[in-house]
Amino acid sequence: MSYTMGQKKNKEEDFIRKTAEFVEEKLKGAESGHDWWHILRVWNNTKLILQEENADRLVCELTALLHDIADSKFHDGDETIGPRVAGEFLNGIGVEAAVVEHVQNIILNMSYKASLGTVNFHSKELEVVQDADRLDAIGAIGIARAFNYGGFKNREIYNPDLPVLENQSKEAYKNTTAPTINHFYEKLLLLKDRMNTKTAKKIAEGRHEFMASFLQQFYSEWNGAS
């Protein structure tokens, strides 16, 4: 069955609307660094990046909405559950098989921990959504999310006796129990230079500087400065 351009656009808007409703309901009560509000911010970041980057809008928006539908860190490290849940939902509302597969491949390969292992998939759409997600991991929001997740996992805020572990393997990163401050050096401060798109790189500069300023103030207060 063929569609006019207008019908195709309306169909895609319907898919996006249904997906947003599904995700908002599914993530009620989720850890607040990975809840609906995180999804909404990543979705908005995706749309912002798409104003400057040429990529498939439907794939990008569906992936932004579904990328944390079943995050492996909340499912015993199972990295297949997210793509599976996303695929089941998208197939259920009639999204084209090629689009579903593309979304699943991005979800499987877009996380920071995935980048520490072997990545066998790449697309412009992955670049866009990966940047949108990484932007939400840095800056003021990123700081808030880091400490919220650290508290959720009952981790120390900081322990000067526990050194930062650089150049971690994927498994070491997945299994870390390090204090939250260490996470800045093991991931957050590295993201600025790992952005893919010009739009994200520009936004990341200011957010990175904010985190660096925060850490300087943190250490000053930790050491008893006035």
Q: What is the pLDDT of residues 148-194, one digit of tens each?
A: 999 999 999 999 999 998 888 777 777 788 999 999 999 999 999 99
Neighbours of 29 (CB within 10 A): 8
What is the rounded distance in angstroms from the CA atom of residue 100 to the CA atom of residue 132? Answer: 20
- Plot region of 55 (φ>0 → left; ψ -120 to 50 → alpha; else → beta): beta
Q: Give the model confidence (pLDDT) of 89-120 as tens digits.
A: 999 999 999 999 999 999 999 988 888 888 88
Q: What pLDDT is recorded for position 175?
A: 77
How does DSSP assign 66-107, residue by residue? HTTTT-GGGTTT-TTHHHHHHHHHHHHTT--HHHHHHHHHHH
E strand or H helix at 153, and its extent?
none
Burial 81-111 (b: 16+ CB within 10 A, else e): bbbebbbebbeeeebeeebbebbbbbbbbbb
Q: Give the model confidence (pLDDT) of 190-212 as tens digits.
A: 999 999 999 999 999 999 999 99
- pTM passes above 0.75: yes
How many helices (H) does the chain have, and how many strands (E)?
11, 0
Give, as one character, the DSSP assignment of residue 219.
H
